[in-house]
Amino acid sequence: MVSVCVLCAVETETTPHLFLHCTFTVALWRWPGAYYTVQFDNSSFLSIFGSYNHAWSMQVQQLALATITHVFHTIWMARNVIRFNNASIMLQATKMKIHFTITLDSDLLSLFFDLLFLPFAVQFYLCLLY
């Protein structure tokens, strides 16, 4: 049995439609591009992961990957909330959820650097002195 996409209520729900081509998800893919000054290419799953600039620093690349992951996850969660809880989803609230999780990820990445890499760098530097 074919079901209609609960995010747009227009097209048949297929995996490519739900995550790439639905009007709701297209708006989500356009939104984070403003932060990275890049247009996420949502023509295919592979093209999304190839959208970020490989000249970016490793931290920015990791944040871009976190953004992509959170957009996929948020689309799936929004779909399930609508389908199983008969709720409605606002695009702005969805964007804010993604923004919050990306911010949390960047804080955790910074903490990871401070707790793991920085002590290693200090020890390495001290070894060079002696």
Local confidence band at 24 (pLDDT 50, 70, 90 cut-offs)? very high
Task: For the chain, give the number of residues.
Answer: 130
Q: Which two tokens stand for residue 130?
A: 């002696």
Q: What is the pTM of this model?
A: 0.73
Local confidence band at 107 (pLDDT 50, 70, 90 cut-offs)? low
Name the maximum alpha-carbon separation found in the chain.
Answer: 72
Domain boundaries, the chain: 15-129
Q: Are 94 and 74 in contact (CB under 8 A)?
A: yes
SS3 (DSSP) at 49: helix
Q: Is the pLDDT of residue 14 over 90?
A: yes
6 vs 122, higher pLDDT = 6
| Pairwise CA distance, residues 40 & 78, whole Å | 20
Q: Name the nearest CA neighbour of 95 among 6, 36, 31.
A: 31
pLDDT digits (tens, 9 = 90+) for 36-95: 788 889 999 888 888 877 788 887 787 888 888 888 989 999 999 999 998 888 888 888
Count the helices and strands in the chain (H runs, E runs).
7, 0
